[in-house]
Structure 1
Amino acid sequence: MYFKKSVFVFIFSSCLSGSVLAQASACETLAPAQLNLAQAMERALQCGPEFQAFRWQYEGQLADAKILKQRPNPNFSYGVSMLNLHPSQYPENRSRMETGTRIDQLFELGGKGKYKIRAADALEVAAQYDLKFNEKLALVKVQHAYFDLLAATQRNQDLRDLSQLNIRAKEVAEIRHRAGDISQFEYQRLLIDIQRTQNDLELAQIELVKNQTQFAQLLAYQKGLESLQLAKNWPTPMQSWPTLDYEKLLQRPDLQALRQKTISAENQRLVGRALKIPDPTIGLQYNHQPVTGLANNGTINTYSIGVSIPLFVRHAYQGEARKAEVEYYQARDQQLRAERDALQVVLEQEKILKANQARHIRLQEDILPAAEHAAKSAEYAYQKGAIQLLDLLDTRRTLRIVRSEAAQIQAEYAKSQVLYRLLIEVEDLRP
């Protein structure tokens, strides 16, 4: 089996409550000055609220499985059949009371106990697969937030650099405007472009704060995000593409969990069908009676056995059986639909990844260097009076657009690659 179930469940169940609370209390709320992707993912595993929620959810699923495995307890009863409140009025040695002790046990027939145990075992395995996949999915979310924050930081820095260029360009434009080299119209166009760049910078700062907040929530940081510097752990372009094996793809944890849930629902359906078989309750009773009053007579002890069987007069649990049938078909349909769509989803994500990779490479290797070179040349030429102000503004506007697009595409490519690796399970998500 994929998991060492018995050992894993025992260790995890016994240590989870203390470990989660201990980790939560030991997590530092102040963000470090520098952080790389591996450290961010390790921090999320230790302190992230989503990971803790997944582990509590797992504990709840194990508790549900344990409840399902429990068999009916016997009932113990003790009673007094006659209570002598006036012993002086009765013969000598007459006891004050006559007692009865009884034990009743419900017996489940039709294989109900066996089916419940099988259903519980399948639920436990499904819970383990769910935990594994949910943690991987949460790591993907952390990486997405990391790349979004990197991109937002880069956009913010690019616009700051452009703002510095605008300051120098404005100084040159003022000199040339006073000298009559440029018209009032061109000078106003420059001021408008500077204001638009400043607006873009303020919007980028707002977006940066939003990304910092989201990242802090995932890693349970409360302060220090303003000075946090992230390492540029961008993923490298994929040189080769794995051959997709559908049978191997079906071993993904989320699909395994769905299969185990179907097995559990199937056994629950068998339990529902077995409900039409009445479960008898067998009782054994011991009666202790006092002596009759004569010295040569001893105590009278008697034993009795009884059986009670429910009468299906008004219903025979048809509703419970029907509900179990419906839940089984729901689980099976969900499993089959996920297995049927698994390959198509991967192929679709592969196309998205290839397109993002091509755009990313084109921007980084061709478009962005050309735009930066053109902008530097235009700045120099404008300072020397070789080009018009409108040409400078067009070149600068192009650079601003290209830089913003490059940061966005780089983040989209990184996120699509991480999601693709999750879907094909080619490696562990931890770098």
Structure 2
Amino acid sequence: MCVRSRALALAVALALLPASALHAAPPARTLTLSQALNRAVAASPGLTAADREIRAAAGRGLQSTARPNPELAFEVDNAFGSRSKRNLDAAETTLQISQLFELGGKRGARIAAASAEIDAARWDRAATRLQVLAETAEVFARAAGAQRRVAELEDQVADLDRLTPLLQKRVDAGASSGAEISRGRLATEIARVELGKAKAGFLSARRELAVLIGEATPSFARVGGDIRRIGAPPAFDRLLGRALENPQITRFTAVKAQRRALLAAAQAKAVPDITAGVGWRHYREDKSNAAVVSLSVPLPLFDRNQGGIYEAQETVAKTDAERNVARNGLIILVGRAYESLRASYDEARLLRANVLPVAREAYESIRTGYGEGRYTLLELLDAQAALSEASLREIDALIAFHSTLASLEGLTGTALVLSTKDKP
């Protein structure tokens, strides 16, 4: 999955980076998507926890190979009693070492369960890594969109500011009333309010991105990339096939192997183990010695671990149901994300191809005509507002496109190859 994760990071980076940025160093204090992804992976506490869990599972795997320790026993019999056994004169001293021998494949099942647990932990780590990449790319897209919104509103405010001399000139010439200056100032101040909100939104997204890359406060002033680069997504069936290879689904293979091994261990537990011992006994009364040999086997009359076996069987059977739950949920999420991606792509494309050119042409025409006295200020402001609304709607669609793209790539676990026919 490392190869797919690198492909995901590269593809999303290429989707947002302009062509010139692929061969040029980023400006100072500008964070690129590839930098954000790399730093997010390095700083993610979720991945740190996943790495620790893999090591913990490896420790349990090491422990699973250990054999039972031998037991050393020391006994004193026929001592501290009465009459001839009052002291230690008739004492019998025994020193014995015993060893438990596991039967029924207990050790092998224990090792198999621990090995499968390590595999499951690694799949969980791969799924977590995809989530980190997708979340970081999504937040980066929102930050890039908020940055673009700020630039758009700054242009709008600057454009309105440039109207002031023209308004004053018309008033001085008697072509307009002084109320038009107040109306123009009102439109400018409203645009400044929207600009302030947009800046606050960018600061919020920048701070969120900083947290994801491990910074308490953002060390970057801007994010790099061109959010206007979009492309048609591939067919849904192809995405769905890739989604079913997501670590969130494939991990159940390791989970089922682990649970089968636990079932084997539960079944092996029903087989009694043997404890064998050998020792030395000393008879103080006549100063003689003798060997001691012992062999003990539990009789499985009452406890044959029936409940443990039944529990393990049901746990194994539950794995398929859990996998189907995860599979159905993933299909639903991929379907929603895909339709959202298609909708935002179509909206951005239509706005760019049909709405924005018309709105821009209308505004330029009315602006020119206003200077010639053919249009009123209200008509000019309406045209400017329509152009601004169309531009901001395109930005919203672009943010939705790239955010959904990041989510979809996280769900499918692979990079999406988009059509390059759509140019900014």
TM-score bin, normalised by smaller chain? 0.7 to 0.9
Partner of 1:372: 360
2:297 pairs with 1:304: no
Deviation, 1:169, is 2.4
Three-state SS of the structure 2 residue aligned to 1:102 is strand
2:162 pairs with 1:162: no
The 5 A counterparts of 1:239-388 are: 241=235, 244=238, 250-275=244-269, 277=270, 279-289=272-282, 300-309=289-298, 313=302, 317=305, 319-339=307-327, 345-388=333-376
C-alpha contact (below 8 Å) 2:93/2:281 kept by paired residues: yes
Moved more, 398-407 or 234-243: 234-243
- Percent identical among aligned pairs is 15
Aligned pair count? 387
Do the aligned partners of residues 246 and 382 (structure 1) sit closer, same or farther apart at CA in structure 2, a change above 3 Å counting? Answer: closer
C-alpha contact (below 8 Å) 1:76/1:104 kept by paired residues: yes
Do the aligned partners of residues 174 and 343 (structure 1) sit closer, same or farther apart at CA in structure 2, a change above 3 Å counting? Answer: same
Deviation, 1:151, is 0.3
Alpha-carbon separation, structure 2, partners of 1:351 and 1:61:
40
Three-state SS of the structure 2 residue aligned to 1:283 is strand
Alpha-carbon separation, structure 1, partners of 2:41 and 2:366:
49
Q: What one-letter code is carried by the residue in structure 2 that aligns with 1:334? A: E
Deviation, 1:112, is 3.8
Moved more, 240-249 or 398-407: 240-249
2:37 pairs with 1:48: no
Alpha-carbon separation, structure 1, partners of 2:307 and 2:183:
76
Deviation, 1:240, is 5.3
Do the aligned partners of residues 374 and 59 (structure 1) sit closer, same or farther apart at CA in structure 2, a change above 3 Å counting? Answer: farther
Deviation, 1:230, is 1.7
Alpha-carbon separation, structure 2, partners of 1:303 and 1:234:
87
Alpha-carbon separation, structure 1, partners of 2:368 and 2:46:
52
Deviation, 1:308, is 4.4
Do the aligned partners of residues 223 and 419 (structure 1) sit closer, same or farther apart at CA in structure 2, a change above 3 Å counting? Answer: closer
Alpha-carbon separation, structure 2, partners of 1:359 and 1:246:
23
Partner of 2:393: 405
Alpha-carbon separation, structure 2, partners of 1:428 and 1:62:
35
**RMSD between aligned alpha carbons?**
3.8
Alpha-carbon separation, structure 2, partners of 1:377 and 1:164:
18
2:72 pairs with 1:77: yes
2:167 pairs with 1:173: yes
C-alpha contact (below 8 Å) 1:126/1:256 kept by paired residues: no
Q: What one-letter code is carried by the residue in structure 1 that aligns with 2:71? A: F
Instruction: Please list every run of 5 or more consecutive structure 2 residues that lacks an aligned counterpart in the other structure.
Output: 3-26, 81-88, 418-424
Three-state SS of the structure 2 residue aligned to 1:79 is strand
C-alpha contact (below 8 Å) 2:240/2:412 kept by paired residues: no
- Provide TM-score, normalisation by structure 1: 0.75
2:187 pairs with 1:193: yes
Deviation, 1:147, is 0.9
Three-state SS of the structure 2 residue aligned to 1:74 is coil
Instruction: Please list every run of 5 or more consecutive structure 1 residues that lacks an aligned counterpart in the other structure.
Output: 4-30, 86-93
Three-state SS of the structure 1 residue aligned to 2:226 is coil
Partner of 2:23: none
Alpha-carbon separation, structure 1, partners of 2:299 and 2:172:
105
- Provide TM-score, normalisation by structure 2: 0.76
The 5 A counterparts of 1:76-225 are: 76-81=71-76, 98-105=93-100, 107-109=102-104, 111-174=105-168, 176-177=170-171, 181-183=175-177, 186-225=180-219
Deviation, 1:139, is 0.8
